Structure 1
Amino acid sequence: MIKTSHKKLLLGAGGIIVVALCFWAGSSDNKNLLQTDNLSSTPDYFITKIHATEFGQDGKLIETLTADKGLHYNKGARTLLENPKVKRVEKTGNWEAQGKKGIIEDGSSDILLTDDASAIKHYVDSPDITLKADNIRYLDKKQSLTSTGNARIYSTQGETTADVIVTYINTEEVKMTGSVRGQYEATH
């Protein structure tokens, strides 16, 4: 027969084991304070009052980007901008573009301007042209502005509309596709 003191010791040890197992089983579930799907839709960082400049090797200003706010998302590998404005200085003239929203993909120098986007090309020897569209995409490698969605170009000939209007930064070349209405003629 087991002595009373041994019984108490065995019951105490058994009780400790039961409590430890209950504690371990209850704590093995990793529970987050927030749902992980909620976290995936939040930015990993944000910046306000953005002012970025790019200079050439000769030290001359090439490009300026400003925006009220930028929200970066790792999941989409992109930065969303509020009220972005881009100004670029070229030998053939300057251009500036803006939109209510903008998107820059990570690792890219391209920018998509959305929500009432517009761009003005200031030529050295020619009249300015203005682009307006739902979306204007600046493609750095092609040195072009591509306007889509209610795309319009304003020049000395008046307003011309098309499904897609592509203008090239360093030339007066303009390509229009799909339902072109109006007249556009390069000055040179």
Structure 2
Amino acid sequence: MPRYLKSAKSTVSATGDPAVAATVSGVIADIRSRGDDAVREYSEKFDKWSPETFRLSEEEIDRIVASVPGQVIDDIKTVQNNVRTFAQHQRDSILDFEVETVPGVLLGQRNIPVSAAGAYAPGGRYPLVASAHMTTVTAKVAGVPHVTACTPPIRGEIPAATVAAFHLAGADDIYLLGGVQAVAAMALGT
């Protein structure tokens, strides 16, 4: 029997709010059918954000990272090193193997990373920088060759520390795009 050091009462309904579920389903269906045009409309509607392109260029990323205070960059690097070290230990503990269970019957497992992953760091009122570490660093340690990262603007501003965290974690593409439209765009490949 497990022993718990902490426990919490569940305050989240398993069914959620039907109105929210309907809105999310509608957004996903619209993005599936209309692609980037729908993504742009939802970004304008929900975030009041409609730049020429949502994807940050290398020059923009370099400029944004340079604007982040040195102590914040050092903190990001320290945290990412800790996450990377632990993730590597996890990865090293998942071994590939093959065994002949009976003559001529070979069974085993081989761990193969997916070819691409989407990483999302929520913004809302405050940037959730840790999401950048936990999604991108772990995917890269697992061997995922291409990670696309999205984070929303916060009140029309670029969340510089989050962009820096995604960049330092090894994200291959970084988009200033939030909400269900960002997740749907990554999942559907718009």
TM-score by length of 1: 0.19
TM-score by length of 2: 0.19
Between the two structures, name the one with larger relative contact order (CA 8 Å, sep ≥ 6).
2
Q: Which has the higher helix share?
A: 2
> Which entry has the higher C-alpha Rg, 1 or 2?
1
